[in-house]
Amino acid sequence: MAGHSKWTNIKHRKARQDQQKGKLFTKISREITVAAREGGGDIDSNFSLRLAVQKAREANMPNENINRAIKRGTGEIKGVDFEQVIYEGYGPAGTAILL
């Protein structure tokens, strides 16, 4: 039981919500970085970047985080290198698998 204090009850719920939001923002930030690296930082000419930014805005991601991810992807800010990889293989009974 969380107790009787209102802040104690809010604290537990807020911690879970912040953890979920942080996970989502990290995933979207990686998508934006990869899209900016592959197609450039211009939203008008890069369709995958436009979709990633639209997804970020739907998730209420702050503009500062979006711009930082774009700059990291274009090389203006140093960061960890992410790239999109496709794995191909064969599973049971010869079925082709793409990841």
- The whole-angstrom separation of Cα 51 and Cα 29 is 12
Question: pLDDT tens track of the chain, all 99 residues?
Answer: 555 788 888 998 999 999 999 999 999 999 999 999 888 888 999 999 999 999 999 999 999 999 999 999 888 877 666 667 889 999 998 899 988
**pLDDT tens by residue, 2-28:** 557 888 889 989 999 999 999 999 999
- The whole-angstrom separation of Cα 65 and Cα 30 is 11
The share of the chain scoring above pLDDT 90, in percent, equals 61
In 3D space, the residue among 55, 35, 59 whose CA is nearest the CA of residue 45 turns out to be 35
- The whole-angstrom separation of Cα 3 and Cα 18 is 21
Q: pTM for the complete prediction?
A: 0.70
Q: What integer pLDDT is reported at residue 80 of this predicted model?
A: 62
56, 66 Cβ separation under 8 angstroms: yes
Q: What integer pLDDT is reported at residue 85 of this predicted model?
A: 82
**What domains can you pick out in the chain, each with its CATH number?**
6-98 (1.10.10.200)
Tokens of 35: 């899209």
